[in-house]
Amino acid sequence: MEDVFRRPGQRAGAIEEEKRVDSVGDHKEEIAVKEPVLTDWEGSSMGPDNSRASSSGIKKEQDDQLESARAEMGEVREENERLKIKTRRTLQTHLMIMTKKSKETELVSLSLGRFSSDSKKEEKTKTSSSGKEDDQKIKEGLSLGLECKFEVSKPDANEALPDPSLTNGFEEPKEEAGETWPPSKALKTMRSGEEDISQQNPVKRARVSVRARCETPTMNDGCQWRKYGQKIAKGNPCPRAYYRCTVAPSCPVRKQEPTTTHFQCQQPLWLPQLLQPLPCYCLAHHRALGPGSTAPSTSITAANNNLHGLNFYLTDNLKSKQFYLPHPSLSSTPSCPTITVDLTTAPSSSSSPLGRFITNYPSTAPRYSSTSLSFGSSESNSMSWGNNLLSYGSTQPYIKNQTGNTIAAATKAITADPSFQSALVAALTSIIGTGDSGGTIGASQVGGGQVGGGDNLGVMQKLKWGEQFPVASSYSESVKGNGCGSSYLNKSSTTTNTQPGSLIFLPPSLPFASSKSASASPAENREHTN
């Protein structure tokens, strides 16, 4: 019986156990109540049979029995009390875990709601709603609006869950979401590749958690989108919505997104969610794109030099932009590596020299210590994450400030792992999206391609009209002729099958030279004919 109490299971089970504890207590109290009856019975039954025995002897015997029974009862009661306390503690622990989990879910769902295309409807709903609960919700929304944190904080590692099934339950939805979202053509391709990887390394998906303060009340990407079409993509139950930017009448920027966000509340915050609030590419476009402007050759460099943050350089011919991730931390559980980028603190003023990257690059490192991050060889295309929080520091055996490492090596390392590509892209996108820079990652250099800085449109167009990137080409198959860099940005997130929106820069009236043809897109044809 004690074993039952000393093996607390899940919450429901614990409650049940508490009931059982109570019932046991009742039972023992029952014993206590019955005790006199027993003695009465003994006395009554023994009375006539032991009439010859001395009454004092019988009394002694009864007293002994009574005392022993009482002593036993006391022990049982103590034990019962101990078990009750223990069960309560267990329940409290479960309750704390559940509360924490619910808070996480809240964060996720609320943050996800931010990029919902129906933000106006949400606002309407919120404002029209009444009642204390609704007010509370509104307050939550407002507070989130003032400081929106895209954060999925996993339970602390030291708070070990009593039952692993709790963790499993938390991780489960993402798989379901992946399954309920049949991928499109490109996704199939990507998934097939990823599934192969995931079969070999079943739990190596990187999760990016970005903590960022939002300067504006709404998590707006700065563009005003107008829906102009909707289409059901083959193999995708969710129709794809087409939006065009209406900031300017002639704005060529368009984007496409899945029309439903239902699934998003079912899963932790993965890359696609982070990518959904698209940064205002069009603003950069409006700023950067002038008549006769040319597309600069742009490149991105990921650098980490101070070991306390990530610095991303976006450089082009004219200028370079540096994006600093103040407090990135790479944590992981055995099932899910997590990259946490804390943007809530002020960036350091220290700038970094170009050309450093965070990683050493052992060519043959199949497995790493629990506190190290490293990149596997390109053959295995795998990246292993340790069990503990990964931080950049000089003490890390594989994470060193190595000036000798070239960017090529870094990009090679990144190229080796798609999840890290996605993570990096997501991080960069989030940063640039929240920052005031017009810089936009057109396509990630992490795949050996190019990235747009302030004048990213040229790169976008360059991407769109022809030049394929080693990574982008594999990720944006569905875009086909439109190898749009931003499409890659978003398509890259389709590795998790949530099919985020993609952004398309329609060809402006600029005579971009293209390796393909000048009429790569139907829209362009139409524009020319019209």
Partner DNA sequence: CTTATTTGACCCTGT
Partner DNA sequence: GACAGGGTCAAATAA
Q: Minimum distance between the CB of residue 259 and DNA, rounded to whole angstroms? A: 7
- Total number of residues shown for the chain: 530
Q: Minimum distance between the CB of residue 368 and DNA, rounded to whole angstroms? A: 39
H helices within 267-417, ranges in order?
271-275, 281-288, 407-415
- Interface with DNA, residue 230, by CB under 7 A: yes
Mapped onto helix, strand or coil, the DSSP state of residue 298 is coil
Q: Are 272 and 108 in contact (CB under 8 A)?
A: no
* Contact range with DNA by CB under 7 A, out of 33-41, 96-104, 222-230, 274-282: 222-230
Please select the residue that binds DNA; options are 314, 485, 506, 508, rule is CB under 7 A: 506
- Interface with DNA, residue 443, by CB under 7 A: no
Among residues 397, 389, 335, the alpha carbon closest in space to that of 206 is found at 335
- Interface with DNA, residue 149, by CB under 7 A: no
* Contact range with DNA by CB under 7 A, out of 211-219, 235-243, 329-337, 402-410: 235-243
By CB under 7 A, what part of segment 339-358 binds DNA? none
- What are φ and ψ of residue 273, in 5° steps? -65, -40
* Contact range with DNA by CB under 7 A, out of 134-142, 157-165, 234-242, 389-397: 234-242
By CB under 7 A, what part of segment 458-497 binds DNA? 478-482
Q: Are 498 and 263 in contact (CB under 8 A)?
A: yes
Mapped onto helix, strand or coil, the DSSP state of residue 325 is strand
Torsion of CA 264, 270, 276, 277, to 10 degrees: 100
- Interface with DNA, residue 287, by CB under 7 A: no
Please select the residue that binds DNA; options are 62, 105, 246, 514, rule is CB under 7 A: 246
Please select the residue that binds DNA; options are 36, 213, 228, 468, rule is CB under 7 A: 228
Please select the residue that binds DNA; options are 80, 184, 276, 419, rule is CB under 7 A: 184
Q: Minimum distance between the CB of residue 239 and DNA, rounded to whole angstroms? A: 8
CB count in 10 Å sphere of residue 480: 10
Q: Are 340 and 330 in contact (CB under 8 A)?
A: yes
- Interface with DNA, residue 261, by CB under 7 A: no
H helices within 180-229, ranges in order?
185-200
- Interface with DNA, residue 226, by CB under 7 A: yes
Please select the residue that binds DNA; options are 34, 103, 231, 319, rule is CB under 7 A: 231
Q: Minimum distance between the CB of residue 354 and DNA, rounded to whole angstroms? A: 36
Q: Minimum distance between the CB of residue 228 and DNA, rounded to whole angstroms? A: 5
Comparison of 213 and 226: residue with beta carbon closer to DNA: 226
**What sign for the dihedral angle of Cα 156, 157, 158, 161?**
positive
Q: How far is CA 71 from the centre of its chain?
A: 57
Comparison of 31 and 247: residue with beta carbon closer to DNA: 247
Comparison of 154 and 254: residue with beta carbon closer to DNA: 254
Rounded Cα gap, residues 11 and 13, in angstroms: 5
Please select the residue that binds DNA; options are 233, 282, 341, 451, rule is CB under 7 A: 233
Q: Minimum distance between the CB of residue 277 and DNA, rounded to whole angstroms? A: 16
Rounded Cα gap, residues 393 and 399, in angstroms: 7
108: β partners: none
Task: Identify residue 361 by its one-letter amino acid code.
Answer: Y
